[in-house]
Amino acid sequence: MLNPDLNLADNLFDDPDQVPQRNGYGDGVVEAGEKNKNIVVLCCDLTESTRSLAFKKAFPERFVEMGIAEQNMAGIAAGMAFSGKIPYIASYATFSPGRNWDQIRVSICYSMANVKIMGAHAGISVGPDGATHQALEDIAITRCLPNMMVIVPCDYWEAKKATIAISETNGPVYMRFGREKVPVVTTEKTPFEVGRAEIFKHGKDVTVIACGSLVYESLIAAGSLSKEGIDVRVINCHTIKPIDEGIIINAAKETGAIVTAEEHQVHGGLGSAVAEVVSKDHPVPIEFVAIMDRFGESGEPDELMTKFGVKSRDIIIAVNKVLKRK
């Protein structure tokens, strides 16, 4: 059922491995740092939680403890970038790129500073910490910035590969991670290229375009729907900007209906990005699985994913709905 060319995890539908995406950043930045001595990591008093700790241990002279000062962190990163460094700045996404958006806009993006912004604890699945710490707007506020690249990895391996890949791109990047362990969908051998979405499952009736933890939920939904005779294409769209227009337009043309799925506000995230492409080039009906313009709350991750409507069940409902509009 899965695209055989991509070496996806073969235990995906049975008992997939569970690892937080942020671990992929933690391992990836150490690997990138071994290759490139200009890589530095800055962190705002969240070194363990953001998984910057391994880099700190491996390269203490290239690790900078900022204290709880995200605005200063963004500015210092810009200055370091102007002097040849490649700073990865890590905090929770609500604080960076949330609290320091102005610094990211002017000191980093307007100035084309080569800074990589690592936003941990994004999404409703952050859980018990509640709404203040659940970043649900971060894709929207970074996607709108000129020069910014935005990446939402689906699992550990993708986060690791993306962390390494962006060390070789010049310019600002925002990458978001969740807090929780999520199923490992890909493997070390799965191809990854910045800006290139992948068809994780072929299908002809409808396309689900997802990012982050919703890629797994989409594959589960597609599995259930195939039993009802609905052939769902699933696209992993890890790069929200620049978005892979070709794969989206082809999906619109070939399947005639699209569902987007993300752990983010419905306004301004992946769904909006997909709709911008589709409405311009090949309009087809779209349904959005996302957080519907409200703040999160405390609870266990799975309780919240269910309550806020971002589970495979919700994708199935959206697919049935969009097919009626086809």
In three-state secondary structure terms, 243 is coil
Verify binding: residue 202, another protein, rule CB under 8 A.
no
Q: Which is nearer to another protein, 58 or 112 (CB)?
A: 112
Q: Which is nearer to another protein, 172 or 269 (CB)?
A: 172
Measured distance CA(106)–CA(170) in Å, rounded: 17
In three-state secondary structure terms, 4 is helix
Among 62, 181, 202, 313, binds another protein (CB under 8 A): 62
Name the DSSP letter for residue 135.
B
Measured distance CA(99)–CA(204) in Å, rounded: 43
Please state the closest distance from residue 93 (CB atom) to another protein, in A.
19
Contact string 11-30 vs another protein (x = CB under 8 A): --------------------
Verify binding: residue 66, another protein, rule CB under 8 A.
yes
Q: Is 70 a catalytic residue?
A: yes
Report in angstroms the alpha-carbon separations of 296 from 189, 208, 323. Answer: 36, 24, 29
Name the DSSP letter for residue 110.
I
Among 1, 3, 16, 79, binds another protein (CB under 8 A): 79
Verify binding: residue 97, another protein, rule CB under 8 A.
no
Among 1, 19, 58, 112, binds another protein (CB under 8 A): 112
Report in angstroms the alpha-carbon separations of 33 from 22, 45, 156. Answer: 16, 20, 18
Verify binding: residue 80, another protein, rule CB under 8 A.
yes
With CB under 8 A as the contact rule, which of the stretches 18-26, 49-57, 68-76, 212-220 interacts with another protein?
A: 68-76
Please state the closest distance from residue 115 (CB atom) to another protein, in A.
10
Starting at the earlier edge strand, list the strands of the sheet with 86-92.
63-65, 39-43, 86-92, 116-120, 173-176, 149-151, 239-241
Verify binding: residue 40, another protein, rule CB under 8 A.
yes
Whether 259 contacts 285, CB under 8 Å: no
Please state the closest distance from residue 109 (CB atom) to another protein, in A.
9
Verify binding: residue 61, another protein, rule CB under 8 A.
yes
Handedness of CA 298, 300, 305, 309 (dihedral sign): negative
Please state the closest distance from residue 84 (CB atom) to another protein, in A.
7
What is the length of the chain?
Answer: 326
Verify binding: residue 282, another protein, rule CB under 8 A.
no
- Helices 21-35, 156-165: crossing angle, 10 deg rounding: 30
Q: Which residue of the set 34, 70, 193, 297 is catalytic?
A: 70
Q: Applying CB under 8 A, which residues contact another protein? A: 40, 61-62, 64, 66-67, 69, 71-72, 74-85, 87, 102-103, 106-107, 110-112
Instruction: Supply the residues annotated as catalytic.
Output: 70
